[in-house]
A and B are shown apart, each in its own frame.
Chain A
Amino acid sequence: MNFKIPNFVKTNQFGLLCLVIIFICIFSFSTDGFTSRFNIYALSRVVALDIMIGLAMMVVILTGGLNLSLGALGVSAAMFGGWCMESMGIPISISIILVLAFGSFLGWINGFVTVRTGVHSFIVTLATMSIYFGFMTLLTEAEAFRKLPEIFTDFGSLKLFNKYISPLLIISVLTCFILYYVFKYTDIGRKLIAAGANPDAAELSGISVDRMFIYCHMLSGFLAALAGIMLTARIGAAIPSMAGHLGFDWLLPAFLAPVLGGTLLSGGKVTVFGTMLGAILVTLINNGLYLIDVGEFWVRFFLGMILLGAVLLDRAREYFTVKNSIVS
């Protein structure tokens, strides 16, 4: 009998999906309350943010670069949003647009400096991380915005689908679909990927590689700002330390999601849904380990180990890229 394995089974995403299911099973049986309505709702709120952060990092990894300023940028944008809504009384919708524009602008700075100086984005964003965070702390005097419009904070605690799912998750999943569409079905998306894969060849083929790299950084800033807004809505306030000092708390999930998802660190390949699954896996492990009650430091230890493992996988994957498609 001739049994043919469907192509999907061979992909990285399938492996991830299996892992997600395995972990769900393990945690469902080994912990109390993992499948409770409360826990699933809490999970959906966290995973929404991790997906968005992962996507924000993914679009810069696409260029073969990194964005360490992700957390600082997201929080700065969120604080800007808090200032718009609370101090200036600007309507919510306009505030959000301003925040997203502000995030894109900060991303543009990252991209512009990277492209113009030719310095690796690791160094550039390490610097801007401190600059953004320092500047934000200076301007806000480390004070939070806690009197945000109620409609805005209510949205963050809204419960959909029989009170299982947060609307924030829907925003993230929708963003995944939009990004997938952009990378798969638009001229600009193709150019972004081509520029990331081989800048020299792309440049000689008539693509303005510098501009594409700046676009990637702007998109990263946009998505990080969106994540900042979502986090603000979730906690109901814009707090300077909501992503940890210098935004460090975002960095681990930001790397884990795309790298687990199959995005190549050397650039030229995006895995939108892989990143989504990667973020789900990270959140699951995080949440499950807390429920098992292993303690904060063990959770960090495990996530660190997973990242190291994922990076090793990345090296192996470069040999096998051949078998995977470029956008997935």
Chain B
Amino acid sequence: MSDNILELKKITKNFPGVKALDNANFRLKKKSIHALLGENGAGKSTLIKIITGVYNQNEGELFLNNKAQSFNSPNEAMNSGISVVHQERNLIRRFSVGENLMLTNLPKNNLGLIDYNAVAKESKKWLDIMELDIDPNTIVSDLTVAKMQLCEIAKALSLESKILLLDEPTSSLSPQDTKNLFVLLKRLVAEQDVSIVFVSHKLEEVFEICDEVTVLRDGKNACESEQITNLNRQQLVKLMIGRDEQIINSKKEVNFDDKNLLNLQSINTDLGHKDINLNLKKGEILGLYGLVGAGRTELLKCILGLEKINSGQILLNDKEIKIKSPKDALEKFKIGYISEDRKKEGLILMHDVLSNAGITVWSNLKKILSFLNDQIVYNKVDPYVKQLEVKTPSYQQIVSNLSGGNQQKISVAKWLASGTDILFIDEPTVGIDIKTKSYLHELIIDLSLKGTSIILITSDMPEMISLADRIITMKDFKVVGETINNHNYEQMSSSIMDNIHE
């Protein structure tokens, strides 16, 4: 008998067009803290969702206490003692701590009404185990973020969970709170027979509290249940990012002494960006790297006028400009934005290919009395749709029926057609097959060679190092580093990672 409380063998999970997990293995030892690492899109969350019964795997088996098991719903997993504490809070903010803890099993009195004394008493028990000094009658919204986090863990414990999945538990905690959390986690493992799966981007934390580590990359195991003591930081980074991805060498010379095309000067925004200074040269690809929540997309949206800029200046060709809306950006300043979320923000899924590809150019094409027919739009967008090799049966095809890759091509095509000078490209290749991905890479480089200036956001490190001329690192809505890309993968990735983890 092994001492694994949870084991996943050769798990494969397919989504339309993407293999999210490919023969992935995962073993969780009893009474251990196990780190699950990987870049965005590596398959971590898919794996967690399979463990917690949100998804069913296409292939492979899941063993709980050495018994084959399959969960058809999150409830089944919960009843088997698996709880997940998400990045987003899952507490009902206007309920008390006690009510939240006891929510699934509220004690009742003889009349069938809720017995609030029992709620307080029962929940107090779990808070005591965690050595938490919180009155169960406190309303959740009055707690600090750290306390809420701990309440969530208490809630998971109250469900008699033996396996706890913590998804980025420290992302919103202060260093002191994080330290306290770690002391608690270690004690839970030692005293309460709990095993923990720990998902985090912060490698220091992994080294501090984890016993073993599993790394996923492109849905496959980059390493499987390795002792953490056998690895050092560099090796771990290497495992996460991988080196096998080829780096396109764009052989492009950007003259960084050139004058700035777009220049942000000490921008402060409503969303919390502090003193952002940025400049973009003509024909440059400027990369914005950072972890999820670093404020990159938000910064672009502030520039586009969707959120308020409180102070600072935006200069275009050394002239101060005010961008009130994306319409302004497009029509007055020739700035376009390819959204990271093509389904929600990039495309109108229920409309056809022609109206999606043409939406940015309607204003320019309209004739007298605002007249515009399909033929006029077709003549304008057809070259771009052809250039991008969009595979669609016709221009009347509804976009939601196309594959993810082709959808993405359309959301790129509409901005090519608009002929902007500056293009913000946000995560252009998420969930896209390899072939389309490299095609889009070539296209982006080609665009910049033809003089379009590009700000590129991507969380895909190889992509960033392939494409960008200069990389700016952001963290917590601030710029924390700037590096000229020498396209040397090792050097660049470690220098960027250092910027983030400083």
A85 within 8 A of B: no
B497 within 8 A of A: no
Return the contact of A201 from the options B348, B366, B373 (Cβ within 8 A): B348
Return the contact of B360 from the options A186, A206, A268, A325 (Cβ within 8 A): A206
Is A268 in contact with B348, judged by CB distance below 8 angstroms?
yes
- Tell me the residues in window 188-243 of chain A with beta carbons closer than 8 Å to chain B beta carbons: 188-191, 193-194, 197-198, 200-208
Which residues of chain A are near B400, meaning CB under 8 Å?
322
CA distance A75 to B373 in the complex (A): 37
Q: Bits for A100-133, please: 1 = Cβ < 8 Å to B, else 0.
A: 0000000000000000000000000000000000
Which residues of chain B are near A193, meaning CB under 8 Å?
351, 355
A45 within 8 A of B: no
CB distance from B267 to the nearest CB of A (A): 20
Which residues of chain A are near B418, meaning CB under 8 Å?
206
Return the contact of A194 from the options B355, B366, B371, B372 (Cβ within 8 A): B355
Q: Bits for B373-384, please: 1 = Cβ < 8 Å to A, else 0.
A: 100000000000
CB distance from B427 to the nearest CB of A (A): 14
Return the contact of A322 from the options B336, B365, B401 (Cβ within 8 A): B401
Knowing A186-B370, A186-B371, A188-B370, say if A204 contacts B351 (CB, 8 Å).
Answer: no
CB distance from B328 to the nearest CB of A (A): 8
CB distance from A68 to the nearest CB of B (A): 26
CA distance A203 to B347 in the complex (A): 11
Knowing A194-B348, A202-B348, A204-B326, say if A187 contacts B365 (CB, 8 Å).
Answer: yes
CA distance A187 to B369 in the complex (A): 9
B339 within 8 A of A: yes
- Tell me the residues in window 40-92 of chain A with beta carbons closer than 8 Å to chain B beta carbons: none
Q: Using CB atoms, name the residue of chain B closest to A182.
A: B370
Knowing A205-B359, A205-B414, A322-B401, say if A190 contacts B372 (CB, 8 Å).
Answer: yes
CB distance from A190 to the nearest CB of B (A): 6
CB distance from A243 to the nearest CB of B (A): 33
CB distance from B416 to the nearest CB of A (A): 13
Knowing A188-B370, A207-B327, say if A198 contacts B398 (CB, 8 Å).
Answer: no
B307 within 8 A of A: no
B344 within 8 A of A: yes
Which residues of chain A are near B360, meaning CB under 8 Å?
205-206
Q: Using CB atoms, name the residue of chain B closest to A321.
A: B350
Which residues of chain B are near A190, meaning CB under 8 Å?
355, 359, 362, 372
Which residues of chain B are near A201, meaning CB under 8 Å?
339, 344-348
Return the contact of A326 from the options B355, B362, B369 (Cβ within 8 A): B355
B484 within 8 A of A: no
CA distance A192 to B339 in the complex (A): 21
Which residues of chain B are near A191, meaning CB under 8 Å?
362
Which residues of chain A are near B372, meaning CB under 8 Å?
185-187, 190
B396 within 8 A of A: yes
Which residues of chain B are near A187, meaning CB under 8 Å?
362-363, 365-366, 370-372
| Count class of interface residues, chain A | 20 to 34
B392 within 8 A of A: no
B130 within 8 A of A: no
Which residues of chain A are near B349, meaning CB under 8 Å?
198
Q: Using CB atoms, name the residue of chain B closest to A195.
A: B348
CB distance from A322 to the nearest CB of B (A): 5
Is A202 in contact with B359, judged by CB distance below 8 angstroms?
yes
- Tell me the residues in window 161-192 of chain A with beta carbons closer than 8 Å to chain B beta carbons: 184-191
Is B371 in contact with A198, judged by CB distance below 8 angstroms?
no
CB distance from B456 to the nearest CB of A (A): 17
CA distance A193 to B355 in the complex (A): 10
B352 within 8 A of A: yes
- Tell me the residues in window 433-473 of chain B with beta carbons closer than 8 Å to chain A beta carbons: none
Q: Using CB atoms, name the residue of chain B closest to A186.
A: B370
CA distance A200 to B345 in the complex (A): 5
Is A206 in contact with B347, judged by CB distance below 8 angstroms?
no
Q: Bits for B315-353, please: 1 = Cβ < 8 Å to A, else 0.
A: 000000000011101110000110100001111111110
B306 within 8 A of A: yes
Knowing A185-B371, A186-B370, A194-B359, say if A203 contacts B306 (CB, 8 Å).
Answer: yes
Return the contact of A203 from the options B326, B396, B398 (Cβ within 8 A): B326
Which residues of chain A are near B348, meaning CB under 8 Å?
194, 197-198, 201-202, 268
Return the contact of A206 from the options B344, B363, B369, B398 (Cβ within 8 A): B363
Q: Using CB atoms, name the residue of chain B closest to A181.
A: B371
Which residues of chain B are near A188, meaning CB under 8 Å?
370
Knowing A188-B370, A321-B350, A322-B401, say if A206 contacts B345 (CB, 8 Å).
Answer: no
CB distance from B331 to the nearest CB of A (A): 6
CA distance A190 to B336 in the complex (A): 20
Knowing A187-B365, A203-B325, say if A194 contacts B346 (CB, 8 Å).
Answer: no
Which residues of chain B are near A185, meaning CB under 8 Å?
371-373
CA distance A17 to B359 in the complex (A): 33
CA distance A202 to B304 in the complex (A): 14
CA distance A179 to B105 in the complex (A): 57
User: Could you say which of A198, A202, A325 has the most chain B C-beta atoms within 10 Å of its C-beta?
Assistant: A198
CB distance from A63 to the nearest CB of B (A): 14
Return the contact of B330 from the options A200, A206, A268, A322 (Cβ within 8 A): A206
CA distance A200 to B326 in the complex (A): 11
Q: Using CB atoms, name the residue of chain B closest to A205.
A: B359
Q: Bits for B270-298, please: 1 = Cβ < 8 Å to A, else 0.
A: 00000000000000000000000000000
Q: Using CB atoms, name the residue of chain B closest to A188.
A: B370
CA distance A325 to B395 in the complex (A): 12
Is B326 in contact with A269, judged by CB distance below 8 angstroms?
no
Q: Using CB atoms, name the residue of chain A closest to B329.
A: A206
Is A326 in contact with B371, judged by CB distance below 8 angstroms?
no
Is A268 in contact with B350, judged by CB distance below 8 angstroms?
yes
CA distance A197 to B370 in the complex (A): 20
Which residues of chain B are near A321, meaning CB under 8 Å?
350, 398
CB distance from B62 to the nearest CB of A (A): 33
User: Could you say which of B327, B345, B348, B365 has the most chain A C-beta atoms within 10 Å of its C-beta?
Assistant: B348
Is A197 in contact with B351, judged by CB distance below 8 angstroms?
yes
Return the contact of B339 from the options A204, A268, A325 (Cβ within 8 A): A204
Is A197 in contact with B363, judged by CB distance below 8 angstroms?
no
Q: Bits for B182-209, please: 1 = Cβ < 8 Å to A, else 0.
A: 0000000000000000000000000000
CB distance from B341 to the nearest CB of A (A): 8
CB distance from A324 to the nearest CB of B (A): 9
CA distance A305 to B151 in the complex (A): 49
A to B CB contacts below 8 Å, 12 in the list: A186-B366, A187-B363, A190-B359, A194-B355, A197-B351, A202-B359, A205-B360, A206-B327, A206-B363, A268-B350, A322-B350, A322-B401
Instruction: List the interface of chain B (C-beta within 8 A of A).
Output: 304, 306, 325-327, 329-331, 336-337, 339, 344-352, 355, 359-360, 362-363, 365-366, 369-373, 396, 398, 400-401, 414, 418
A186-B372, A187-B371 provided; 20 other pairs, C-beta below 8 A?
A185-B371, A185-B373, A186-B366, A186-B370, A187-B370, A187-B372, A188-B370, A189-B370, A190-B359, A190-B362, A190-B372, A191-B362, A197-B351, A198-B348, A204-B326, A204-B345, A204-B346, A206-B326, A208-B325, A326-B350
Q: Which 6 A-B pairs have the closest CB atoms?
A: A206-B330, A187-B366, A186-B370, A198-B348, A205-B359, A187-B372
